[in-house]
Structure 1
Amino acid sequence: MAAESQLSGFPPGYFVIRSVATGRLWDVSLDEVEDGTEIVLWPEKEHSLVESLRNPDANNQVLFIDTSGALCSRASGHAIDIEDERLVLRHRRPVSKPYPNAYSHPLPQFSYDRETQQISVTYTCDPTYPPPGSGASNAWRRKSYILSSIPMRKPKSLIDNASAFISSAVTAPFSFFSGSLAAPSKTTPEEVFSGDIDLAEDEMLEQDRGEEGEVDDSVELVRKLRVLAIDPRDAPPEGPNARKRRQWQVLALRTSAAHRRVSP
């Protein structure tokens, strides 16, 4: 039971994590080992789950839980930390005061729920690491933290931009008598994704993403992985795409191929 608790829902040994929404695996970017290297989503490099059949070059897509309960990368052996809502490699660091701080702090705890297929994060201190005496609140304690993939849209073409410009020019309220434009109205999420305001996909709040923000049609191979801070007072997005982006398949590696029983 103690060993199961230490694994926090993950299987013993090595495993890969696949996004239900994109089919991509957790991947240490460029197979780097430097501190702070980002963990992203990348197409599966090795399809076999049998250890003896796998290409070692795909080890940057393999993870494990170490004896301290930390989630780690197989390729480097380094643990995974969270920095500005991104998952990154983290070398072990000495304690520096005032502890904890952005440089030196306890590693977050990752947990996998096999029923919901969600991966949650537990912090033992405020993940914003406010300086001592800053009057920091305990608001972070009432939030839940879960991992989600972030959709990526393909870049707008010249035709798309021209169409958006013409549309905005035609619909903008204009006073022919005063010769001036009326005051702009409050920006909506739809206007952001129509091209009027340029926000990165991972800068959009989940509750503001909307239908347009769920489109994932970029030809880029990489996708981003982010930690969402969910306040229970806010209704989380419940559309099918939003749910899939928060779901993961954790697939354990096997030491040998499964043998099929042959009837006599």
Structure 2
Amino acid sequence: MTADDTSGFPPGYFVIRSVACARLLDVTMDEIEDGTEIALWPEKEKSLVESFRDPETNNQVFFIDTSGALCSRSAGHAVDVEEDRLVLRHRRPVSHPFPNAYAHPLPKFSYSPQTGEITVHFTCDPAYPPPDAPASNAWKSKTYLLTSIPMRRPRTLIDDASEFLASTILTPISWGRAAPQATPEQVFNGDIDLNEDDVVEEERGEEGEVDDSPEAGRKVRVIGVVDRVLNEKARNRRRWVVTPLRTVNAKTTGSS
């Protein structure tokens, strides 16, 4: 790549903010170990001027290196995708059969200032199937996007009581009969809702978009998507604002 080719990201150092939850990409616990997860955390440093910033906040700063990989400033390592998580990745020696989950080309990240989307580009199947697996190019038809994950606050006894009262009022009481139990067939046939963690990210309903947990952190995931209609909250989870750091303080000019 050339010095001007940063795949839509600004040259130099920058921070990446989620539009949905206003948190920054953050190397968790400021670790440097291989496999450390990258998540979302509240902004630690407000200044964008290098000389004013606290170096302890560099785990929220990233850059594009000369190979085109997204890298952490604090750790100095590239960002990889492990299953669907962003993680730090040391460079690794080739091991066969190549590519595999341990040794593979690092993904490339690109940013569109117009859509706000961060796209992840793979040169091989990110599932890294074994050599004897049937050949499949299905992964090539997907667009891999970075998305934030909303988090609901823990349910309380008041929530449960309110839900119970609502269901009692809206549902006719069946005297003397126990409520029917879900069968395994209903679960596997899709008649029963799965746990929230099992919901396909692009198919979250309005309720699943609620993000009201008091927890500071949020998770970020890479999802393979096809073209489909999304609500505004779902689109915002895939939107990011990338802001470059400055070496000097911005000055305003004007007549006095």
Q: Same fold (TM over 0.5)?
A: yes
Q: Does the 8 Å contact 1:175/1:182 carry over to 2? A: no
What is aligned with 1:205? 200
What is aligned with 2:91? 92
The size of the alignment, in residue pairs, is: 252
In the superposition, the TM-score normalised over structure 1's length comes to: 0.87
Q: 2:242 aligns with which of 244, 247, 250?
A: 250
What is aligned with 1:3? 3
Tell me how far 1:84 sits from its aligned partner. Answer: 1.4
In the superposition, the TM-score normalised over structure 2's length comes to: 0.89
- Percent sequence identity over matched residues? 57
Q: Does the 8 Å contact 1:36/1:89 carry over to 2? A: yes
Tell me how far 1:206 sits from its aligned partner. Answer: 2.5
Q: Does the 8 Å contact 2:3/2:66 carry over to 1? A: no
Give the 3 Å change call, closer, same or farther, for CA 91–180 of structure 1 in structure 2.
Answer: same
Q: Does the 8 Å contact 1:81/1:87 carry over to 2? A: yes
Secondary structure of the structure 2 residue equivalent to 1:217: coil
Q: Which runs of 5+ in 1 are unaligned?
A: none
Q: Does the 8 Å contact 1:145/1:228 carry over to 2? A: yes
Q: Which runs of 5+ in 2 are unaligned?
A: none
Where in structure 1 do 4 or more consecutive aligned residues deviate above 6 Å? none
Q: Does the 8 Å contact 2:202/2:234 carry over to 1? A: no
Show CA shifts across 1:228-258 (max 9, x none).
Answer: 11034xx24x211111111111100000001
Q: Does the 8 Å contact 2:109/2:121 carry over to 1? A: yes
Tell me how far 1:173 sits from its aligned partner. Answer: 8.5
Tell me how far 1:12 sits from its aligned partner. Answer: 0.7
Q: Does the 8 Å contact 1:147/1:226 carry over to 2? A: yes
1:245 counterpart letter in structure 2:
R
Q: Does the 8 Å contact 2:144/2:225 carry over to 1? A: yes
Output the CA distance in 2 between the equivalents of 1:182 and 1:157.
Answer: 25
RMSD: 2.6
Secondary structure of the structure 2 residue equivalent to 1:98: coil
Secondary structure of the structure 1 residue equivalent to 2:234: helix
What is aligned with 2:144? 145
Show CA shifts across 1:205-243 (max 9, x none).
Answer: 1243101001000000001101111034xx24x211111
